[in-house]
Structure 1
Amino acid sequence: MFYKSILKGNFKEKKFLSVVLLLMTLILTSLFSTAIHLHLESKKFLLESYSASQQPEVLVAVENNQYKSNFAEKLVNNSKIKTSYVQEYYTGNFVDQVKDKEVVFFSPNSNRDFKREDLKKLNGNEVLIPQSLKKVYGLKLNQTITLKPGKSFQKFKIKGFFDDPIFSSSLAGQKRILVSSSKFNSFSSHYPQNGMAKYKLISGYLSNHHQIAKTTPKVLKSLGNLPSSAIDYSFANIESNLMLIPSVFIILLLTLSLFILISILIMLWYLITVTIDDNKLEMSILLSQGFTRLKVILNYLVKSVSIILTGTIIGIVIGYFSYVFLSGYLSNVTGVSWGGQNELFSTITIGLLIAAALIIVCVIGFLKALRVGPIIQIMQQSTESHKNFHFKLATISPKRLNFTLGVNKFIGQFKKTGTLFSIVSLLTFLMVVILGFASLFNSTSGALSVLGAPDGDLVLLAKNSSAQLSNVATQISKGTHPTYVSKADQMMVNINGQKTTVDILEHFNKSTKLLQGSYPTNQNEILLTKKMAQSLHKKVGAQIELKYRGVKKKYQITGFYQSINNNGLSAKMSISGFQRLNSNFSPSQVVINFKKYDEAKINKLIKKFDNVDNVNVQNGRATYISGINYVRLILQAMLLFILIITIVLTCMLLSMLVKLTLIQEVKEFNTLKMIGYSNFRIRHILLYRFLSVIVLGQLIGITFGVLIGSPLGSLLMNSVGLSAVRLVPPFGMVTIICLGILLLGSISVAVSQRK
Structure 2
Amino acid sequence: MLAVWTLSRAYLRKKKLQNGLIALLILLSTLLLATSSAVISNTSNIFTDRHNAENGSHQLLLLGAGLHDPQFVHDWWKKQEGVTASELMPYRSLSGINYQGKETANMYLYMMDTQGTPPRVDNLAVAQGAKSEQPEQGTVWVPTSLASSHGLHAGDTIEFNTGNHRFELTISAVVIDIPFGGPFATSARIWMNNEDYKEQLQEMPGTDKYMLALRFEDYEEQGGYWERFEQALGSPYLESKMEFEEIASFYLIINQVIGFIMVFLGIVMMLVALYTIGFTISDAILSQYRTIGVLKTIGLTANKIIAAYVLQYACLASIAVIPGLMASNWISRLIVASSLSVLRTEHNDISLQGTAEAIVIGAAMFLLVIICVLFHTNKARSVQPVQAIRYGMSEEESSKLTGRLLAGGAESRGRGFGRFPVAAVLGFRHIQKHRKGSLLMLILATVTTAVLVLGFILMNSIFSIKQTASLWGYDSSDIAVTIVNKAAFSREKFEQELLADSRIKNIGWIGYANSVIPYADARSLNINTSVVDGSYEEMGYTVLKGHNPRNKNEIAIGVNVSRELGKEIGDVVEVYVQGHKYNLAVTGIYQAIANMSYSARMTADTIRMHNADYNDMEISLINLHDSEQSDAFVKALNAKQGESVSAVTQQTLLDAVYKEAVSVLIVPMSLMGLLFLFVTFIIIYTTCRISIRKEGKTYGIYKSIGMTANKIRISVTLGIVAVAALGTALGVFIGVYVLPFMLGSVLVNYGLVELPLILSWGGIVAMAATSLIAAFLGSWLSSRVIKGTSPRILVEE
Q: TM-score, normalised by structure 1?
A: 0.79
1:301 aligned residue: 310
1:515 corresponds to 2:544:
yes
1:745 aligned residue: 778
DSSP-derived class of the 1:503 partner? strand
* Deviation for aligned residue 1:594: 1.5
2:513 aligned residue: 489
**1:461–1:193 Cα change, 3 Å:** closer
Q: Which runs of 5+ in 2 are unaligned?
A: 418-427, 500-505, 625-629, 790-797
**Cα-to-partner distance string for 1:130-183 (whole Å, 9 max, x where unaligned):** 45555555555544554568966555444554455573589994434455xxx4
1:71 aligned residue: 73
DSSP-derived class of the 2:18 partner? helix
Aligned partners of 1:297, 1:748: CA distance in 2, in Å? Answer: 34
**1:442–1:309 Cα change, 3 Å:** same
Letter in 2 for 1:666: R
* Deviation for aligned residue 1:218: 8.4
2:495 aligned residue: 477
* Deviation for aligned residue 1:75: 3.8
DSSP-derived class of the 2:102 partner? coil
**1:225–1:471 Cα change, 3 Å:** farther
Q: 1:728 aligns with which of 760, 764, 770?
A: 760
Q: Check conservation: 1:6, 1:282, Cα contact below 8 A.
A: no
**1:194–1:530 Cα change, 3 Å:** closer
1:705 aligned residue: 732
Q: CA RMSD in A?
A: 5.1
Q: Check conservation: 1:504, 1:575, Cα contact below 8 A.
A: no
Aligned partners of 2:443, 2:560: CA distance in 1, in Å? Answer: 36
* Deviation for aligned residue 1:322: 0.8
1:595 aligned residue: 623
Q: Check conservation: 2:160, 2:168, Cα contact below 8 A.
A: yes
Segment of structure 1 superposing worse, 196-205 or 363-372: 196-205
2:98 aligned residue: 95
User: How many corresponding residue pairs?
Assistant: 736
* Deviation for aligned residue 1:666: 3.0
**Cα-to-partner distance string for 1:413-449 (whole Å, 9 max, x where unaligned):** 4334222122112321332232122211113414625
Q: Check conservation: 1:527, 1:561, Cα contact below 8 A.
A: yes
* Deviation for aligned residue 1:319: 0.6
Q: Check conservation: 2:163, 2:484, Cα contact below 8 A.
A: no
* Deviation for aligned residue 1:303: 2.9
Segment of structure 1 superposing worse, 398-407 or 318-327: 398-407
**1:704–1:676 Cα change, 3 Å:** closer
Segment of structure 1 superposing worse, 112-121 or 583-592: 583-592
1:417 corresponds to 2:417:
no
Equivalences for residues 11-26 of structure 1 within 5 A: 12-26=13-27
**1:386–1:304 Cα change, 3 Å:** closer
1:119 corresponds to 2:152:
no
Aligned partners of 2:639, 2:276: CA distance in 1, in Å? Answer: 63
Q: Check conservation: 1:78, 1:218, Cα contact below 8 A.
A: no
**1:106–1:347 Cα change, 3 Å:** farther
**1:395–1:313 Cα change, 3 Å:** closer
Q: Check conservation: 2:555, 2:600, Cα contact below 8 A.
A: yes
**1:408–1:683 Cα change, 3 Å:** closer
**Cα-to-partner distance string for 1:328-384 (whole Å, 9 max, x where unaligned):** 233459989994662333333333333333333233222233323335555268584
1:371 corresponds to 2:382:
yes
**Cα-to-partner distance string for 1:612-666 (whole Å, 9 max, x where unaligned):** xxxxxx87987x9757644442245324422332232232243134324433553
Q: 2:529 aligns with which of 477, 496, 503?
A: 503
Equivalences for residues 286-435 of structure 1 within 5 A: 286-331=295-340, 339=350, 342-374=353-385, 378-379=389-390, 382=393, 384-385=395-396, 388=399, 392=403, 399-400=410-411, 402-403=413-414, 411-435=432-456
* Deviation for aligned residue 1:261: 3.2
Q: 1:204 aligns with which of 195, 199, 214?
A: 214
Q: 1:276 aligns with which of 276, 285, 298?
A: 285
**1:197–1:18 Cα change, 3 Å:** farther
Q: 2:268 aligns with which of 259, 269, 274?
A: 259
Letter in 1 for 2:545: Q
1:167 aligned residue: 180
Letter in 1 for 2:546: G
1:59 aligned residue: 60
**1:656–1:340 Cα change, 3 Å:** same
Q: Check conservation: 1:526, 1:557, Cα contact below 8 A.
A: yes
Aligned partners of 1:358, 1:135: CA distance in 2, in Å? Answer: 44
Aligned partners of 2:460, 2:754: CA distance in 1, in Å? Answer: 16
Aligned partners of 1:300, 1:3: CA distance in 2, in Å? Answer: 9
1:694 aligned residue: 721
Aligned partners of 1:477, 1:216: CA distance in 2, in Å? Answer: 44
**1:395–1:58 Cα change, 3 Å:** closer
Segment of structure 1 superposing worse, 473-482 or 546-555: 546-555
Q: Check conservation: 1:127, 1:158, Cα contact below 8 A.
A: yes
**1:450–1:548 Cα change, 3 Å:** closer
**Cα-to-partner distance string for 1:101-146 (whole Å, 9 max, x where unaligned):** 6643564964642366942397553555545555555555544554
Letter in 2 for 1:72: H
Equivalences for residues 134-213 of structure 1 within 5 A: 134-135=147-148, 137-139=150-152, 142-147=155-160, 153-159=166-172, 161-163=174-176, 165=178, 167-168=180-181, 173-178=186-191, 183-185=193-195, 187-188=197-198, 192=202, 198-206=208-216
DSSP-derived class of the 2:71 partner? coil
**Cα-to-partner distance string for 1:60-80 (whole Å, 9 max, x where unaligned):** 343598763342343466798
* Deviation for aligned residue 1:6: 0.3
Aligned partners of 1:21, 1:471: CA distance in 2, in Å? Answer: 71
Q: Check conservation: 1:525, 1:555, Cα contact below 8 A.
A: yes
DSSP-derived class of the 2:620 partner? strand
Aligned partners of 1:394, 1:267: CA distance in 2, in Å? Answer: 28
Letter in 1 for 2:260: I
Q: TM-score, normalised by structure 2?
A: 0.75
1:465 aligned residue: none
Aligned partners of 2:284, 2:401: CA distance in 1, in Å? Answer: 30
**1:15–1:202 Cα change, 3 Å:** same
**Cα-to-partner distance string for 1:50-96 (whole Å, 9 max, x where unaligned):** 66347564333435987633423434667985554444456566434
* Deviation for aligned residue 1:532: 5.1
Letter in 2 for 1:485: W
DSSP-derived class of the 1:267 partner? helix
DSSP-derived class of the 1:652 partner? helix
Aligned partners of 2:785, 2:85: CA distance in 1, in Å? Answer: 66
Letter in 2 for 1:566: N
2:593 aligned residue: 564
Identity of aligned residues (%): 14
Equivalences for residues 488-637 of structure 1 within 5 A: 489-494=513-518, 499=525, 501=527, 503=529, 505=531, 507=533, 508-510=535-537, 511-522=540-551, 525-530=554-559, 533=562, 540-541=569-570, 543=571, 545-546=573-574, 556-574=585-603, 589=617, 591-596=619-624, 599-600=634-635, 608-609=643-644, 629-637=656-664
